[in-house]
């Protein structure tokens, strides 16, 4: 690997109280940050390539906690997506195409500044295959933390898309063992319904998975050393997930004192966390249902889910519960390059400070993944997962939209190119919340 010396950098280190540190030097050697210090007194190894950033901002690469890599974000109905996945997974050429698509989408995440991605449900274990190919050096890409296929129930969320169906606790255990045999990094459960599969107006997030099935899946995962994440969009679902010992609650719903207490005493011996995902819910609120390929009922339910996600994130922050950020990429209008939007929403809709938002999207998310000692901050000994920005995100988090350079585990892309979907960007920019002071 090439050694690099980034000079005259303005460092944002990823810590919760970070402030710009001007005129710094960061030395990268063998894919690891070797030194961070004042430019006047910090030197790199002989023969290292020097890059003068001339005051540009050097920050940790972003960490996206909630991604499906199989889709682009172009709106489609759940039924159409399921039909397509059936055709793709069912034949060798289709599986090859799926792996190629997932790889390209992972590379889009990287080009946008996301150096670590957690996939939480993709068909046919294709995300695991792509992870292994990237780790073997066959393709450039971000660090992938993969769940493969998820665990759902008959008629449950994700069935026919990226989850296998368990009708009994033992079948749930068998799916978890299958994930373990495919070397998945975590297990994804689909405990409640969602906006697309809600049958009644006002009832999104209906409990689909029984406590017994959820408990069996979590017990088996814990026995095998796998973490768990659960799609949950109702308070009842949060209770079932937490009582089963789920590590991360994805999306969430309004919390009460009992649920807050459950978050803090997860059965795995560590506090459970909440993954805030404003991005997939907001388009249902702001856009005509025809644009999101949804119905008026789904639009109503989308608002309920949106308000529940925001309220849960606010309550969790106030209670000291770890909160992470993810985009739910592949959902309608959620592209593979818009993690910056979720960070902005966390500030402007949830109410986090800019420092807290950037910290959450970097070191905070890395800690939730159990990777806080490896990535998430500009610190000696950490993996060289870095982004270069021309503008200060602590003045306006929209600076994260334009990444000048990105480095993942020491591999530098000096001219990252994001293949943008102009029509989707225009719609999303149309309801981007205005700048606010926090």
pLDDT for 269:
59
Domain CATH number, residue 101: 3.20.20.140
Global confidence as pTM: 0.95
Domain shared by 145 and 18, yes or no: no
pLDDT for 86:
59
Strands (E), 2-78: 4-11, 21-29, 32-38, 49-52, 57-60, 62-67
Asked if the structure places residue 435 within a domain, the reply is no
Helix and strand numbers, DSSP H then E, in the chain: 14, 18
Domain shared by 300 and 161, yes or no: yes
Is there a contact between 11 and 58 (Cβ–Cβ < 8 Å)? yes
CA dist 438 and 216 (Å) reads 43
- CA proximity to 175, closest of 195, 197, 192, 158: 158
Asked if the structure places residue 37 within a domain, the reply is yes
CA 139 to chain centre: 21
Domain shared by 221 and 302, yes or no: yes
Tell me which of 284, 314, 335 is where a domain ends.
335
Domain shared by 407 and 317, yes or no: no
Exposed/middle/buried for residue 194 (C-beta within 10 Å: 0-12, 13-18, 19+) = buried
Number of domains in the chain: 2
H-state helical runs in 136-207: 169-181
Domain shared by 48 and 170, yes or no: no
Domain shared by 396 and 268, yes or no: no
CA 380 to chain centre: 25
Is there a contact between 157 and 231 (Cβ–Cβ < 8 Å)? yes
pLDDT for 121:
95
C-alpha dihedral over 10, 14, 15, 18, to 10 degrees?
30
pLDDT for 436:
42
Is there a contact between 228 and 186 (Cβ–Cβ < 8 Å)? yes
pLDDT for 438:
34
User: What residues in the chain have per-residue pLDDT under 50?
Assistant: 436-438
Asked if the structure places residue 352 within a domain, the reply is no
- CA proximity to 155, closest of 92, 96, 199: 199
- Biggest CA-to-CA distance, the chain: 67
pLDDT for 201:
87
Asked if the structure places residue 1 within a domain, the reply is yes
Asked if the structure places residue 277 within a domain, the reply is yes
Range of the domain at 31: 1-59+374-416
Tell me which of 308, 335, 362 is where a domain ends.
335
Domain shared by 49 and 73, yes or no: no
Domain shared by 226 and 259, yes or no: yes
Domain shared by 184 and 239, yes or no: yes
Domain CATH number, residue 382: 2.30.40.10
Asked if the structure places residue 353 within a domain, the reply is no
CA dist 272 and 367 (Å) reads 12
Domain shared by 17 and 120, yes or no: no
Q: How many Cβ atoms from other residues are within 10 Å of residue 45's Cβ?
A: 14
With H, G, I as helix, E, B as strand and everything else as coil, classify residue 181. helix
With H, G, I as helix, E, B as strand and everything else as coil, classify residue 298. helix
Measured at the CA of 213, the angle between CA 243 and CA 171, to 5 degrees, comes to: 150
Domain shared by 117 and 26, yes or no: no
pLDDT for 270:
67
CA dist 231 and 190 (Å) reads 5
Q: How many Cβ atoms from other residues are within 10 Å of residue 3's Cβ?
A: 18
């Amino acid at each position: 690997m090439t050694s690099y010396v980034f000079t005259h950098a303005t460092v944002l280190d990823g810590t919760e109280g970070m402030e710009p540190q001007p005129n710094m030097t960061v030395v990268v050697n063998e894919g690891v940050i070797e030194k961070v210090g004042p430019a006047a007194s910090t030197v790199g190894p002989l023969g290292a390539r020097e890059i003068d950033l001339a005051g540009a901002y050097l920050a940790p690469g972003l960490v996206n906690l909630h991604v499906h890599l199989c889709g682009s974000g172009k709106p489609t109905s759940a039924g159409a997506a399921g039909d397509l996945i059936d055709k793709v997974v069912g034949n060798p050429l289709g599986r090859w195409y799926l792996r190629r698509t997932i790889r390209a989408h992972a590379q889009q995440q990287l080009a946008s500044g996301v150096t670590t991605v957690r996939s939480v449900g993709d068909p046919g274990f294709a995300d695991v295959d792509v992870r292994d190919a990237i780790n073997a050096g066959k393709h450039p890409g971000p660090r992938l933390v993969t769940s493969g296929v998820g665990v759902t129930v008959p008629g449950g969320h994700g069935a026919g898309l990226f989850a296998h169906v368990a009708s009994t606790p033992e079948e749930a255990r068998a799916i978890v063992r299958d994930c373990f045999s495919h070397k998945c990094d975590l297990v994804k459960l689909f405990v409640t319904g969602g906006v697309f599969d809600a049958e009644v107006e006002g009832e999104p997030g209906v409990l689909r998975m029984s406590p017994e099935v959820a408990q069996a899946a979590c017990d088996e995962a814990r026995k095998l050393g796998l973490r768990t994440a659960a799609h949950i969009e109702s308070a009842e679902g949060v209770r079932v997930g937490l009582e089963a010992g789920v590590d991360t609650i994805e999306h969430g719903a309004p919390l009460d004192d009992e649920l807050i207490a459950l978050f803090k005493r997860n059965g795995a011996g560590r506090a459970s966390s909440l993954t805030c995902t404003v991005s997939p819910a907001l388009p249902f609120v702001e856009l005509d249902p025809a644009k999101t390929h949804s119905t008026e009922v789904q639009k109503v339910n989308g608002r309920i889910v949106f308000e529940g996600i925001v309220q849960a994130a606010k309550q969790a922050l106030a209670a000291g519960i770890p909160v992470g950020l993810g985009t739910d990429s592949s959902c309608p209008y959620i592209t593979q390059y818009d993690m910056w939007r979720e960070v902005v929403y966390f500030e402007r809709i949830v109410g986090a400070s800019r420092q807290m938002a950037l910290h959450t999207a970097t070191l905070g998310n890395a800690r939730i993944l159990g990777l806080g000692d490896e990535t998430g901050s500009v610190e000696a000994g950490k993996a060289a997962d870095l982004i270069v920005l021309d503008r200060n995100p602590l003045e306006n988090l929209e600076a994260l939209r334009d990444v000048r350079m990105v480095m993942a585990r020491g591999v530098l892309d000096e001219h990252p190119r994001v293949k943008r979907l102009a029509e989707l960007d225009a719609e999303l920019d149309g309801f981007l919340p205005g700048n606010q002071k926090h």
